[in-house]
Every structure is written in structure tokens, then in C-alpha cells.
Amino acid sequence: MTKPPVGGNRSGRKLGQKVKKGKLKASSRRWLERHINDPYVQRAQLEGYRARAAFKLLEIDEKHKILNGARRIIDLGAAPGSWSQIAAKVTNSTDADPRVAAIDFLEVDPIPGVRILQMDFLDPEAPGKLKEAIGGTPDLVISDMAAPTTGHRQTDHLRTMHLCEVAAYFAVDVLAEGGHFLAKTFQGGTERDLLNMLKQNFRQVIHVKPASSRAESVEMFLLAKGFKGRQKTGSETETEDEAAE
């Protein structure tokens, strides 16, 4: 069971530490203080996860059971790799039998059992390479992708929402029937057309915000559960009918 940190922490580090004034800008100092005093950051270090984001996935799974029975997983926007660490564990993925494929334009240190692609997910070749790397049909597509910030809030918002949309269409293209899709989005920002598309293809579509997602953050996660399966094209239906005759 994933429990939020309470009180202090088990790492031995005291909360409420201050960063000494020096060459750091005030804004940088405040960010660093928040980071080193974040109990989820400290817990991630203690439990061997590469980032506090691990607890977002674990908390979502605790309630919605999206990792249960997953045999193959694709991780989009994987850096630094905490979600892929969890994915490799739940799928029993190994280097000899990899069941997790991950992609990010940033470099990701090797993770046992994970095929890592360093490339932009928007690269036209990326979807095909991910399908090849996973070695089978995934039961779960997870995406923590966010566009590099420009400093213009609306632009950043639109760019990240575009990534969410591309990830959703990719999930519909590759998921096994009954599979799930989880992606980062923003409060009030999911486009109606995208929601309608997901509702047509999945049995349940909801927004979730785990406790480990900072309260001041506008981030949420879009969860689509129970993929209904791809609709057969006319040619595919004709082929099946001919085979049955």
C-alpha cells in the first residue's frame, strides 16, 4: 500500500532545511529548499526510485489497479526513469526478455529490463521503433511527457496538451483490448475532441490528481481504462468472412 509521508521521514534528514545565501538567485534558492525538504523526494531516494514521480504512478495504481496483470508497458517521456523502474518490476521484465519500452529526448541511464530509446516521441519513426522494442502488444501506455517550457504559460500549456493528444492516439493504435492509458495533462485543459475520442475507445475516462502531485501544481493525469479494441476495417472484415466460408 502506498502511503504519503507523514511527520518526518525515514532518511534521517531533517525537514525545514534552509539553503545558504550565496550566488543563487532567490527563486533558485526557494526551489532548492522546497526540493530538499520534499518528503516524497526523500522517500524516493530511500526506496531507490529515480524521482518522486514514482509515487504518482503508485498512488494512481493503488486506487485504479492499472498495473495489475500488465505484461508489457510503454513509457513515454520516461526521463529520469522512475515509472520505467516500476514497469519493469510489475512485468518481470529482464534484459533477456524485455517487456518495457521507454522513450525520451533526454538521456536516461540504463534500467534493467527496459529498452530505452533516446529520441523525440514526435519523430515520425518513434512509434514504429517503440512497437519493435516492446516485442509484443502493450497492456498499458503511460506518459509523463511535458513540453520544454518557453516562459509563456499559454504556449507551454498548448504544447504539452499536444503531446497528450499524440500519446492518446498512439495508445489507441497499439494497446491490447482491455488495456489502459495514463497521461499528464493540466487542470481544465483537456480538449473536448480528445475526451470524446477516448470515451469512444475506452470504457472509462477520468481525471485524477494523486496526493504526491504538488498542491500548487496545475498538473493532473488523464486516465482511460478498458480499451475496447480497434475497429476492423472493411478489408479486414471481408478477409475474415472469406476465411469462414
Task: With cut-offs at 50, 70 and 90, classify the pLDDT of residue 154.
Answer: confident
Of 164, 219, 220, the C-alpha closest to 197 is 164
- Determine, yes or no, domain membership for 206: yes
**Judgement on whether residues 105 and 39 belong to the same structural domain of the protein:** no
Arithmetic mean of pLDDT, 89-117? 97
CATH of the domain at 103: 3.40.50.150
pLDDT tens readout for residues 43-76: 767 777 888 899 999 999 999 999 999 999 999 9
Q: How many CB atoms lie within 10 A of CB 87?
A: 29
d(CA 164, CA 184): 7
24 in Cβ contact with 32 (< 8 Å): yes
- Determine, yes or no, domain membership for 4: no
Segment of 46-55, 150-159, 177-186, 230-239 carrying the highest mean pLDDT: 177-186
Active site residues: 184
**Judgement on whether residues 37 and 62 belong to the same structural domain of the protein:** no
**Judgement on whether residues 29 and 58 belong to the same structural domain of the protein:** no
**Judgement on whether residues 31 and 69 belong to the same structural domain of the protein:** no
**Judgement on whether residues 121 and 79 belong to the same structural domain of the protein:** yes
Residue 204 corresponds to which amino acid?
Q
Domain count for the chain: 2
- Cell numbers of 114, please? 527496459
Whether pLDDT at 97 is above 70: yes
Q: pTM of the predicted model, to two decimals? A: 0.79
40-44, 102-106, 129-133: range with lowest mean pLDDT: 40-44
For residue 176, the enclosing domain spans 51-227
**Judgement on whether residues 90 and 103 belong to the same structural domain of the protein:** yes
Residue 41 corresponds to which amino acid?
V
